[in-house]
Structure 1
Amino acid sequence: MTTLTSTAPPAQRPLLTAEGLHVTYSGRHGDPPARAVDGVELDVRAGEIVALVGESGCGKTTLARALLGLVRPTEGRVSFGGQPLEYSSRSLKAYRKRVQLVLQDPTGSLNPRHTVYDAVAEGLRIHGYGGDEPAAVAGALSRAGLRPPERFFLRYPHELSGGQRQRVVIAGALVLEPELLVADEPVASLDASVRGEILALLLRLRAELGLSALVVTHDLGLAWNIADRVAVMYLGRIVETGDVEQVLTAPRHPYTQALLSVLPEAPGEPVVLTGEPPDPSRIPSGCRFHARCQVLASGEAERAGVAGACRGEDPGVLGGGAQAQVACHWDRSAARPSPSPLSQPSAHGCDRPRHDGAV
C-alpha cells in the first residue's frame, strides 16, 4: 500500500497524530470484517482547528472515538504530544483530561437530575481535583459564555435553551483545562440562529486559550466558517486534505466536488452520486469511490487514460501533514485540468467570518 508522507518543521509538529490507523469490526454470520477506519494518517497541530467531513457512515465518528481512546485501533498508533497513547486505565484517564469530547446532543449529554454546577464539576471529581471547585466551575462557565456563572449553578438542563445546554457541555470540557477538543457535530442539534454563537465561542476559546480542535461534521458550511484545515473522509479513508480555502474553493477530488455541488448557493448543477456508499466489509478494488464517481461515469477518466487505474489500482493512503493532498488517479493525470477557484466563499452557503472569536 502506498503512503504519501510529509515532514513538518519542528515548530509545526502536531499535537495529535494518527499513524496508519485501522479500526476493523468482526463480521457477523460469516460476513467479512468491516473496515470502518482503513489506514488513516491525520495530524492536528497546537492552536489549529481541523474539520473532518464526509457523509454519514464514512467512519468519521469511529475515527474520532479511536483518537479519544474510546476504541482501540486494530492497527496503527495514536500519539499525543509526541507520545504514543497507552491503553491502561491510568494512562487513558490522564489522556482524557488533556483531550475532551463535546457531543452533538447537549440534552443527551447532560443528566436531567444534575444541576449545571454538578454537570460541570463531574470531571473535576473524577480526576480528584484538589483546588477550589466552585471557582473552577465558575471559571469554566464564564469562559463558555454563561455569565454571571453563579446564576446558572442551581439550574437544571430543562430550564436552559439548547444553546445554553451546549455551553454547559463545553464548560464541562473546559473545566479540566484540556489542550484539545474533539467536537462531534457540535451544532447539529441547534437552531440556525444559535449555531453561529457556538462556532464563534469555539473560535474565541482557540484565540484565548490556544485550544486545538478536531470538529467532526457533515456540514461543509460549518467547516468553512471554523476550520483552518479540512480532511474529507470516504469509506474509512481520507481522500482529500488541505487548507480550508484550498479544499472548499478549489476541490480536486470528485467526491469533494460532489459534496460541495449540492450546497444551496453552489454554482452549476449539483452532482447526484449514484447509489449508496459501499459496505465497509466489501470495499471495492481500485479507488473506493470509483463505482459512484461522476468523472468515471462521464468518460473523463477514460479520456485521461486513468479509467483502468480507477477501477483496479488503490490510489494510496494520504500522509499526515499540512500540505494539500488528494487520493485520486484522475487528479494526478496530465489531462486533468487545474481546478478553478470558486469566485466567492458564499458559494458554500455562508460567508467566512473573522477569526477573532467575537461572540
Structure 2
Amino acid sequence: MTARLDATPAEGPDPRPGAEAAGAAPTADPLLSCSDLHVTFKGRGSRATARAVDGVDLNLRAGEIVALVGESGCGKTTLARTLLGLEKPTSGRVDFEGKRLGYSTRALKAYRRRVQLVLQDPSGSLNPRHTVYDAVAEGLRIHEGATADESERVAEALSRAGLRPPERFFLRYPHELSGGQRQRVVIAGALVLRPEVIVADEPVASLDASVRGEILGLLLRLRDDLGLTALVVTHDLGLAWNIADRVAVMYLGRVVEVGTVEEVLSAPRHPYTQALLSVLPEADVDEPVVLAGEPPDPTMIPGGCRFHARCQVLASGEAERAGVADRCRTEDPGVLRGDGDGATQVACHWARRRDRTETSASA
C-alpha cells in the first residue's frame, strides 16, 4: 500500500488570524452517530421494498476522518444523506452531540448549518449564472440572512479552500475555473457557515489525478486547523488510505468491516474487503480476486451472510474446512457496533472463527 499524502497541500489555506490549530485528536464520545439505522424505499409499481440501509451503527468522533467505502449501489450515499438529514430513517436514529436528530424544518435548518455536504460534481452543484461570491454566500444568506461581515466571511472561506487572493475570484463564474478550483468553491460554500462536520460524497471522483492530491491534502489541513470532522464517501480504497483515520466497508446496505485505516487496509479480515483491496495497483497479491456476479438486488437480500453468494472463501472451500460454511449460508453475522472499543470489527463467520483459532493457538 502506498504511503499517505503529506497533510499540507501545495495551496493549503492559512489559519485564521490569531487562531490556534484545533488539532485532530478525537474525543471519546461521538459527535455524529447512527444506531440500528434502516432506510427503505418502495419500488415504483410493485410491492418490493429496497433495503438501501439495512441496519447500520456508525460513530464519528470530533476531529476524525472516516471513509465509507464500497461498490456503487451498496447504500453508502443513502447512509450519508440520512446522516445529513436529507433522508428520514425508516427506523433507527441519528444523534448529534448525543441528542436525537429532529426532523422539523427548524431543527433541520439548525442542524444543516453545523453539518455540511460537499458534492462530487462541482459543475452540477454550482449555478453557472452565479458568481463565485454568490455561490459561496448562498448558504450564509439562507441561514443567517444579510450580515455586515458577509464579504469577510466569503473571503475567509475561499482563502481556507485554497483560492487566494480570494477577491480575485469574487466575480468569476464557474466556467472560468478549472475543475479543481470549482471543487474548492464548493468546499468554501460549506466552510462559510463554519460547520463542525462535513460529509464529502466522492469529493475527487470527477477530478484529474494531478488535482486529487491537492484536494485530499486540503481536507486534511482543514481537519488539523479547524478540528473538522469528516465522513468521506468513496469507492476508492486508495483514497481512504491517504485521508482517513478509520474506514467502514459497506456491502448491500450494511457495514461489514470497520476499524482504523491501517488495520483494515493492511490486514483486511472480511473477504469482501480483501477482494476490493486485491485490485489496487499497489496490492501485494499474486492475482486479484474477481467476485462472481453483481451485488444482489436490495429488494431481495439473501439469507445468512449477505455476501455468501459471491464469497471467494466460501467458493474455494475454506469456509467448509473451517466448519462455518452452513452458518455463512443461513446465519446473519449481525450488525457491527458503531466503533466499539476501537478494535477492528468484522461481520464474517469465517474471519471470526479464524480469529478464535489464532487466539487459542497463541494462548
TM-score (norm 1): 0.90
State the match for 1:17 in structure 2: 33
Of 256, 264, 279 in structure 1, the residue corresponding to residue 297 of structure 2 is 279
Offset of residue 336 of structure 1: 7.8
How big is each residue's C-alpha offset from its partner over 1:278-320, in whole Å with a ceiling of 9 and x where there is no partner? 0000000000000000000000000000000000000000010
In structure 2, the CA distance between the partners of 1:154 and 1:43, relative to structure 1 (3 Å rule), is same
Letter in structure 1 aligned against 2:66: V
Contact 1:330/1:336, CA 8 A, preserved across alignment: no
Letter in structure 2 aligned against 1:231: A
Task: Give the unaligned 5+ runs of structure 2.
Answer: 1-25
Contact 1:31/1:281, CA 8 A, preserved across alignment: no
Offset of residue 338 of structure 1: 5.9
Sequence identity percentage: 78
Of 227, 239, 244 in structure 1, the residue corresponding to residue 244 of structure 2 is 227
State the match for 1:143 in structure 2: 160
1:91 aligns with 2:107: yes
Question: Following superposition of structure 1 onto structure 2, how do residues 163-178 of structure 1 map, counting pairs within 5 Å?
Answer: 163-178=180-195
1:293 aligns with 2:311: yes
Distance 2:149 2:354 in 1: 63
> Following TM superposition, where does structure 1 have runs of at least 4 consecutive aligned residues deviating by more than 4 angstroms?
334-339
State the match for 1:352 in structure 2: none
RMSD over aligned Cα atoms? 1.4
In structure 2, the CA distance between the partners of 1:338 and 1:170, relative to structure 1 (3 Å rule), is farther
1:36 aligns with 2:52: yes
Question: Following superposition of structure 1 onto structure 2, how do residues 238-257 of structure 1 map, counting pairs within 5 Å?
Answer: 238-257=255-274
Offset of residue 337 of structure 1: 7.2
Contact 1:287/1:312, CA 8 A, preserved across alignment: yes
Distance 2:194 2:320 in 1: 53
Offset of residue 131 of structure 1: 3.7
Offset of residue 128 of structure 1: 2.2
Task: Indicate the SS of the match to 1:215.
Answer: strand
Distance 2:28 2:338 in 1: 12
How big is each residue's C-alpha offset from its partner over 1:111-144, in whole Å with a ceiling of 9 and x where there is no partner? 0000000000001110124341000000000000
Offset of residue 26 of structure 1: 1.2
Of 51, 71, 83 in structure 2, the residue corresponding to residue 55 of structure 1 is 71
Of 79, 83, 92 in structure 2, the residue corresponding to residue 67 of structure 1 is 83
1:309 aligns with 2:327: yes
Task: Indicate the SS of the match to 2:144.
Answer: coil
Task: Indicate the SS of the match to 2:46.
Answer: coil
State the match for 1:211 in structure 2: 228
Distance 1:139 1:197 in 2: 19
Task: Give the unaligned 5+ runs of structure 1.
Answer: 1-9, 340-359
